[in-house]
Amino acid sequence: MATWFGLFVAVYGVPILMYLAFAVPALLALRSRALDDTPTAIWALTIVAIPVMGAAAFAFLGPGIRAR
């Protein structure tokens, strides 16, 4: 029984935690950027739709302008 639980956590729990670890900080960083509504919505959809790669793309390719 314990083996199945460990397998369940490894298959479902770890990817969900990785998704949250990458997506939440990226979305919080997106809030502090001075962008119009359309680019903000596109970045938010990219971060949410493509779990880890969307957050990585925002970190490396995202706009570098911060709000004051």
Residue 65 confidence (pLDDT) = 54
- Cβ neighbors of 48 (< 8 A, separation 6 or more) are 23, 27, 54
Residues β-bridged to residue 33: 66
In a domain, 5, yes or no: no
Condensed to tens digits (0 to 9), the pLDDT of residues 8-59 reads 888 888 888 988 998 999 999 888 888 888 988 999 999 999 878 888 888 8
| pLDDT for 56 | 85
Look-up of token digits 């956590």: 9
- The CA-based angle 25-31-34, given to 5 degrees, is 135
| Within-domain flag for 2 | no
Q: Number of folded domains in the chain?
A: 1
Tell me which residue of 30, 8, 25, 23 sits closest to 53, measured CA to CA. 23
Residue 12 lies in a domain: no
**Residue-range definition of the domain harbouring residue 40:** 18-68
Residue 53: both structure tokens together: 């790669």
pTM for this predicted structure: 0.73
